[in-house]
Structures are given as structure tokens and as C-alpha cells.
Amino acid sequence: MSTGADRLAANAAALARELDWLDASLNARLERHFAAAGEPLPEPAGHAPPAASPVPGATSGAATTVTGNPIVPWPLDLLPAPPALTPGSDHAELVTRLALGPVERLVLALALAPHLRPQLLDTLFLRNSTLDRGFSEFGGWKGKLHGGFLPTCETAAFLVAGDDLAARLALRQQLDDDAPLRREGVLRIEHDAPGEPFFSAPLRIADEYLDLLTLGRRHKPDFSAGFPAHRLDSPFDWADLVLAPETMAEIDAIRTWLARGAELLDDWRLRKALKPGYRSLFYGPPGTGKTLTATLLGKATGTDVYRIDLSMVVSKYIGETEKNLAHVFDQAENRRWILFFDEADALFGKRTATSSSNDRHANQEVAYLLQRVEDFPGTVILATNLRSNIDDAFARRFQSLIHFPMPDVDQRLRLWESVLRPTGRLADDVDLRRLAEAHELAGGAIGNVVRYAAIGALQAGRDRLTAADLERGVAKEMRKEGRTR
């Protein structure tokens, strides 16, 4: 059996034990809940009552062992004790790394249940015969497509605390932002209804950790309405980046921060003085390498780069733009990502005098963005063609403002050569030095010229690019930019 298969089997065994434990704990809690009220356990509407599942190695009230170290005896009434961890599983590694206790493990199992064993929670569809509806203390919410019971924090509170108010308050602490499961981004608690109780929020496991605990791999989010961003990649490498020396020096500073920022904050003891995030503005004409530079910064440092799709972020409805951005920042909060906002002046533009409610709303958006960008612990890069379009409040809070000028003759020659030399399809009459000297073009424009020229050569039935092909391509690109030679 391969290592990957071994890991998958260990993950399956670990999660099965956790879910068996959750099942037994839920049944025990329900029995105690209704026994305390002097009522028999009602049957779920449309569902058969579940049978209790034995938990391997679990005995009520007994202490258990986590990787050989004794932990505090199970504190929650007479609920079953947690099973021993499964060696070699991602679940065991996560529990050990975060030093998760029984309560946190049970809450994690509850968040996993809808994905792995949805029928386990069907018993919570019990109906209160007096009110002819579900029980408030069970919590839960209904998805758009999923037919099963989806847990909320209220469900977790019922499971681990029952009617014990002190235990309920203790759970509230364990669901705080700075508690292990939230700090590491394992659990996501998204509350879209201001003013409603905290425990009514859905209890979700992050996609990254769902993939890790099940398949043993890290999830990379896909573009969707809930995550309006594309992951950037490029076939180019750092050596292919052609920038002015002063621009490259600024970029090298960002590269150093990405690679060794934690060392500066911790080993150099600068964490109190410096925020962990890095914010930079790239500005300059189109095609000068702003997007490519952001992409290669990620590639050089092993960091994922996500370009935010502003067409799906900006909304005319009040509060929707902030909500859409919150989805992106919340998902990126605990990941080592670079967030790249191209044509950022559409979102981060200058604030205006408040002569109307629309102006006030636009200014509120900018203020919200300013706060989220400043508080974000990762790297944020904004790109714009004109520096003057960006609100000054953003510029003051950036670590660097980097100008991407049009390339000079030597840089243009390097760009022409990097695109054309590897093809081996240049005719003898092509003089790349003359092209670089004669035409002021950015890297993106040079790529367009080569595309036009190659198409023309194919249409003419030739397998070589001639000087005439390239000149026609240059003329077409100039006309597109509204320039003459």
C-alpha cells in the first residue's frame, strides 16, 4: 500500500471513530435532556430513531490518552469519553498541534458530520409537539440543497453543555476568534444577522481543513460567488522578470519580507513595533509587468497569489461591496496568500465631498477597505495605471509605492529576446536591436506584436517570422493604442 493510501486509510479510521463518538454523545445528551424534563425521547419527524453507536475504547467519565499524554478526565456530565487518536492521521496531527481538548474535538466532529455522515444529525429533526416546531435548544439551519440538519453554534452548545450555563459560557470562550480552532481558521462562524444571538451562527469547517482531514491535502479555493478571486500562475520564472533597476530593488524588498518576515517579527523582536502584513501599490502604464511581478513574487516564495475579480465585488447595493470583500479577507485571514487588486482605482479611489447619500456610501466603502487592508496579516498588492487615482489615505499606509515605468531600450531588447529567441523561428532579416530602439513598447504590447506576427506568418504559409511580420504587428499595436509611429 502506498504512503498516500496509508494516509487516506488512517484519516478514514480517525474520522469514523470521532463520528461514532459524536453519535454516542448526541444520543446520551438527548436522553438526559428529555429525562430531566420527565418526557420520553420523541421520534424525529419522518426519520427512524438512531441506534447508539459504540465508541472504540471509550468509557463514560474515564480519562483518555492523546499520543501517550494523559488529559483531563471528560468533564461533560456522563457523555462518553473521546476515543484514542489514530496514529498517522491528519486528525491526530491537528489535535496534537493545537492541543485540542475533548470539547474542541467534539465541536470539530459536529462540524464534520454533515460532510461525512449527514444522517447522524437527523435525530435533531425532533419536533416540539407543544409548539409544533423544532426545539430552539437544538439550533440548526437549513441549506439550499442539502436535505439534512446543518449545525449551528447552538447545536454545539446543546451537545457539550446542555442546560449548564457555566459550560455554555466556557464553550463561548472556546469559539472566540483567538481560540485554537478559530485562530487557525479550522472553524468558520459566519453571522449574517446582526443583533441575533451569537450561538445562532452556522458552524462550518473551512474547506482547507475539510480537505486536509479527509484527503490529506490542502484545499485551494476555486473562483465562485462566495470567493470572487482567481489564483494566478505563470510559466515564467524570476529570471524572466525585466524591470528597471530601481523597481527591481523595491520588488526584492517585498520578496525578502515574504520569505523572512516571520524572522524579522520574532527573532528580531519587532512584532510589537510592526504589523505582520505588507501593503504595496504598483503603478505605471499598462503592460509594464505589474500583474506578472505579483505572480512571480508568489511563485518565488511558494505563496499563492489571488487576483480579486472586482466585477463580482463591487455592488450598487448598500453594504454588499463590504460583504463581498469580507468573504475574501476572511478566507485569506489565516493563509499565507498575496491578494492582488488589479485596476484598483475602481475600488480604492479617492473619497469625495459628501453631497449625496451615494457619496457617503462610497466613502464608507473606502473607509471599510482601508481598515481591512490595514488589519490584514498577509500581503496586499494594489495595481493601477495612475498613482493619482488612489486615495491618499491608502498610500500613507502602504509600505511601498512602486513605479513601473516604460522599459528603456536595453530592457525592451531583453523582452524581445525572451519572447522570440526560444522559438527558433526568426528569419535572417529580423534585427531585434533595431526593433527595441525604434519602438517604445511595454512587455505586454511586445507579446501582442509577436502574436499578430505569428498569426500572419501562419496565414502566409511560412514557418519563420520576418521583419515585415513584426513591423505589421507593431503597426497594429500602435493603432490599437491610438499612437502613430
* pLDDT at position 362: 58
Worst-scoring range by mean pLDDT, 24-38, 411-425, 458-472? Answer: 24-38
Parallel, antiparallel or unpaired: strands 379-384 and 278-283:
parallel
* pLDDT at position 351: 52
* pLDDT at position 392: 76
Domain ranges of the chain: 3-215, 229-403, 409-480
pLDDT tens digits for range 336-382: 889 999 888 777 666 554 555 555 555 676 777 778 888 888 999 99
Question: Higher model confidence: residue 66 or residue 484?
Answer: 484
pLDDT tens digits for range 213-234: 999 987 777 666 667 888 999 9
Which residue's entry shows cell 514557418?
463
Residue 319, Ramachandran bin (φ over 0: left; ψ between -120 and 50: alpha; else beta) = left
pLDDT > 50? residue 63: no
Order across the sheet with 400-403: list the strands: 229-232, 304-308, 337-341, 379-384, 278-283, 400-403
Domains 229-403 and 409-480 in one fold: no
Q: For residue 282, which of 269, 291, 272 has the smallest C-alpha distance?
A: 291
Kindly report the pTM of this predicted structure.
0.71
Instruction: Please check whether residue 308 is in contact with residue 348, taking contact to mean a CB–CB distance below 8 angstroms.
Output: no
pLDDT > 70? residue 308: yes
Residue 349, Ramachandran bin (φ over 0: left; ψ between -120 and 50: alpha; else beta) = beta
pLDDT tens digits for range 176-206: 988 999 988 899 887 777 789 999 999 999 8
Helix H or strand E encompassing 315: none
Angle at the Cα of 255 from the Cα atoms of 250 and 258, rounded to 5 degrees:
130
What are the CA-CA distances from residue 3 to residues 37, 88, 90, 466 (Å)? Answer: 51, 10, 13, 54
Q: Which residues pair with 308 in a beta bridge?
A: 229
Q: How far apart are CA 464 and CA 301, in angstroms?
A: 38
Over the chain, what is the mean pLDDT?
A: 85
Instruction: Please check whether residue 410 is in contact with residue 245, taking contact to mean a CB–CB distance below 8 angstroms.
Output: no
Sign of CA dihedral 60, 199, 122, 42: positive
* pLDDT at position 311: 73
| In CATH, 229-403 is 3.40.50.300 | yes
The mean pLDDT of 139-163, rounded to a whole number, is 93
Fold for 409-480, please state it.
Helicase, Ruva Protein; domain 3 (1.10.8)
